[in-house]
Amino acid sequence: MKQLSGLDAGFLYMETPTTFGHISSLSVYDKPDKDSENPYEILRGRLEQRLPLLEPLRRRLVEVPFQLDHPWWIEDPDFDLEFHVRHIAVPGSGGPRELSDLVGRLISRPLDRTRPLWEAYAIEGLRKGRWAAFIKMHHATIDGAAGALMTMMLLDAEAGAEPPPMPETPPTEAVPTPLEMMGRTMMRYTSRPQRFFAAQNRMMGDLLRIATNNANQARSMWSFPKPGRADSAAGASTSLVSPRTPFNKSISPHRRFAYRSFSLDDAKAVKNHFEASINDVVMAACAGALRRYLVRHEALPDQPLVAMVPVSIRTGEEEDMWTNRVSSIFSRLPTHIDDAAERVRYARDAMESAKSSFDLVPTESVLDFAQFASPALVSQAAGLMTRTHLADQVRQPSNVVISNVPGPRQALYMGSARLRHYYPVSTIAEGQGLNITVQSYEDKLDLGLVGCRELLPDLWHLIDDFEVEIAELVALTDSGPDAEVEAEAG
């Protein structure tokens, strides 16, 4: 048995009838080389063959009675692969709209907590004979970095490669009784004061080290902003609330999904032109696209929007790779700036300021204290926010979640089928009805948008705004847009 960390368990406690804790991916593959190869059999066979490597697929949740402590994982004694792997087809012409509608419906359903927290779908009926693998997993099981690692474990660098040797699958575990779980919880409670004081000492030591090594930066962070600086990129991390937008309200349980691919070379051309990073370009493109969308809806705030950007804190030395090791930074988005070039510069400076402030936060110590959060209270607070529609009354710390995940540059395969695109499908929460996630693969940037169905009925128009914005950014450089990638994704 293995207990969930406070951060992992938090993704369970956030779930309500309208908010779900799963994250997903949509992988689009070429038609298999052999007509005898069936996409469902390819996907099912690959999952079954790699199962010994993939602990998150085998483990099942065990709750503590009365939510007195965080839940535990066990090796599921009743594991049923057939339940988790499903076969489905896209209706109609099999185009992007039909596929996105299907994905939107799949992510609008919660996962069954009595079984391992994942589902996989082999989706046929796409254009050009292509097919897709849609995998949905709970965020309590993995974060984005672990999900990317899992993808690499499922795929090969060559078509039809021989399967690697597999370790022995660990033995299953009996489901403990409620009485056994209560006994285990009481034992942990005896060490709770010791663990709390250890976490407190670590926090004090980290704060002292940060203050010593970053004295000037710390004074700047905790001082009041100077007059005239409230709207500058340098103040990007000081705002605790965000302006209101049409998608910053209470959400429904229904989702929309939209996706498109863009040229990585185009993004690099913009990056080089402005001496920025790929992430800066992504942030600027998001700001420009959101600005166009909000102007069209006559809802553009005077202040810049605020983006929450997930940050991996993995060191590569973790004993358990299958857990969440993620924090976040808050950065202003230059949606209030009309000039595209200025938006890139502002986004670059805002991210630099946000990263500097993040360095002043003792992230590891903060995660230590997450262990002591009350599961019952956190769950009740999440439910109360949904029932009272509190997000309609209170401004949120951020308007949108934006994530940029670096992916592999080489071609990958599942059997003889080549992976063409890897679209991220993330999650939304109360008061934040839009998520923007980008995943790079080969020479492409695959963009996935997830939105509340009621708050963003025209999510595909926002995808079109990204295309217009990126074309404008590329026009500022010496190169032209990569039409081949855009046409392939269309």
Distance CA 53, CA 170 (A): 10
pLDDT at 233: 60
Q: How far apart are CA 234 and CA 352, in angstroms?
A: 8
Query: Is CATH 3.40.50.10800 what the domain over 2-165+176-190 is classified as, yes or no?
Result: no
The pLDDT of residue 487 is: 39
pTM (global) more than 0.75: yes
* Contact between 161 and 413 (Cβ < 8 Å): yes
Whether 60 and 116 have beta carbons less than 8 Å apart is answered as yes
DSSP characters over 287-348: HHHHHHHHHHTT---SSPEEEEEEEE---S--S-SSS--EEEEEEEE-TT---HHHHHHHHH
For the chain, the domains span 2-165+176-190, 196-405+430-489
- The two tokens of residue 437 are 């996630």
Rounded Cα distance, 293 and 291, in Å: 5
Host H or E run for residue 256: strand 255-263
Can you give the pLDDT at residue 480? 57
Tokens 């309200």 identify what position?
249
- CA 119 remoteness from chain centre: 17
Order of strands across the sheet that contains 72-75: 2-3, 72-75, 59-62
Contacts of 103 by beta carbon, 8 Å cutoff, 6+ apart = 24, 26, 134, 257, 425
Q: What distance in Å separates the CA atoms of residue 332 and residue 348, rounded to the nearest whole number?
A: 10
pLDDT (tens place) for every residue of the chain, 490 residues total: 999 999 899 999 999 999 999 999 999 999 998 877 899 999 999 999 999 999 999 999 999 999 999 999 999 999 999 999 999 999 888 999 999 999 999 999 999 999 999 999 999 999 999 999 999 999 999 988 888 889 889 999 999 899 889 999 999 999 999 999 999 888 887 877 776 566 566 666 755 665 666 555 545 444 444 433 445 564 444 455 799 999 999 999 999 999 999 999 999 999 999 999 999 999 999 999 999 999 999 999 999 999 999 988 887 777 788 988 888 899 999 999 999 999 999 999 999 998 887 765 656 666 666 777 788 888 989 999 999 999 999 888 999 999 999 999 999 999 999 999 999 999 999 999 999 999 999 999 999 999 999 999 999 999 999 999 999 999 999 765 554 454 344 4
Residue 287 in tokens:
């700001």
Kindly list the catalytic residues: 139
Fold match, 2-165+176-190 / 196-405+430-489: yes
Q: Which of 286, 299, 268 is nearest to 449 (CA)?
A: 286
CA distances from 103 to 90, 99, 219, 297 (A): 10, 6, 47, 26
Which pair of structure tokens corresponds to residue 139? 């965020």
Instruction: Report DSSP state, residue 36.
Output: T
pLDDT at 189: 75
Instruction: Give the phi and the psi of residue 371 in degrees, each rounded to 5.
Output: -65, -25
Whole-number pLDDT of residue 229: 41
Residue where the block lists tokens 């033995």:
171
> What fold characterizes domain 196-405+430-489?
Chloramphenicol Acetyltransferase (3.30.559)
* DSSP state, residue 135: E
